[in-house]
Amino acid sequence: MNRSKNYFKQSAWLSGLLLVALVAGVDSCSSNPLNLSPTDPGGGGGAGGGGGGGPVGRGPEPVVLGTAGTYVILAKEATTNVPTSDITGNIGLSPAAASFYSGFAQDLPAGGAFATSLQVTGNVYASDYAVPTPANLTTAIGDMETAYTDAAGRPLPDHIELASGNLGGLTLPAGLYKWSNTVTIPGNVTLNGNANDVWIFQIAGGITQASAARVILTGGAVAEHVFWQVAGVVAIGTTAHMEGVVMSATQITMNTGATANGRLLAQTAVTLAGNTIVEH
């Protein structure tokens, strides 16, 4: 009888230890941000394609931008700016006319095909400037819409509804990601991979990026291989930082002091407020 009692006491004690260890393990896991990235990013096969004997890229094929890729900002209805912004690359507006630019203080020579601005290291194009600008912009807008449709239609996503659309604190490898609603970036999100890796984010809602939140590229990842296909409004918060080609079916808004490396391609308007945007 005493042996039996001792046996049950020892069993209960061991069960308690196992329960404590299990709870501690769960708490430890839940306190760490999700890291989906492999330990050797880009080391395996993938559709992204490598080149020159470098690491093979993971993820889908890059989205082809066509002539839309010659602009750092391209919009159809308006591009407004609260000075002073610092933009590296060409900007274009069509079918809206040059009067739908604001805040750039453009200098247009008589009969010129493009204007210049002290805030733009590049050229400023509009649909009512001299030839060949109108036709070139029409082609670029068509290419922008084609690229958007291509990105939106990519099949077989690697991740669906990841983290319910909350990307704060995540580390994401190359791949195709899909959400049926709005995506939020309340804190930093890291994209980890090599220069051949490709990310496509298919977002049926909008993007809301919090003030000071950053999209961070590590491991050699490059902005030109990151594609944000967004059906709704893209709102980049005050002093936040975005990386990649942002393709919105509606509007892209950069709040005061926000920065971006990549391109802003909007099928309505782009709104700026003292931003730094660099073409990649």
- Long-range CB contact pairs, 128-132, < 8 A, 24+: 128/97, 128/98, 129/98
Domain match, 145 and 16 both:
no
Q: Could you report the per-residue pLDDT of 98-150, keeping only the tens digit for each?
A: 999 999 999 999 999 999 999 999 999 999 999 999 999 999 999 999 999 99
Which positions ≥6 away from 83 have C-beta within 8 Å?
103, 104, 105, 119, 274
| Same domain for 147 and 195 | yes
AA letter at 74:
L
Q: What is the pLDDT of residues 52-78, one digit of tens each?
A: 456 789 999 999 999 999 999 999 999
The answer to the question of residue 113 being in a domain is yes
The pLDDT confidence band at residue 49, using thresholds 50, 70 and 90, is very low
51 lies in some domain = no
Residue 48, both tokens: 């992204």
User: How high is the pLDDT of residue 34?
Assistant: 76
Q: Is residue 4 domain-shared with residue 86, that is, in the same domain? A: no
Same domain, 21 and 85: no
Sheet holding 171-172, edge to edge: 171-172, 189-192, 215-218
42 within domain boundaries: no
Is 40 domain-assigned? no
**Angstrom distance (rounded) from CA 236 to CA 214:** 10
Q: For residue 36, what pLDDT band results from cuts at 50, 70 and 90?
A: confident
Handedness of CA 226, 140, 110, 98 (dihedral sign): negative
- Do 155 and 250 have their domain in common? yes
Whether residue 44 is contained in a domain is answered as no
59 lies in some domain: no
Domain that holds residue 176: 66-279
Per the structure, the count of domains in the chain is 2
Q: What is the mean pLDDT of the chain?
A: 88
Residue 47 placed within a domain: no
**Residue 67's pLDDT is what?**
98
**In a domain? residue 157:** yes
Q: Is the domain of 256 the same as that of 195?
A: yes
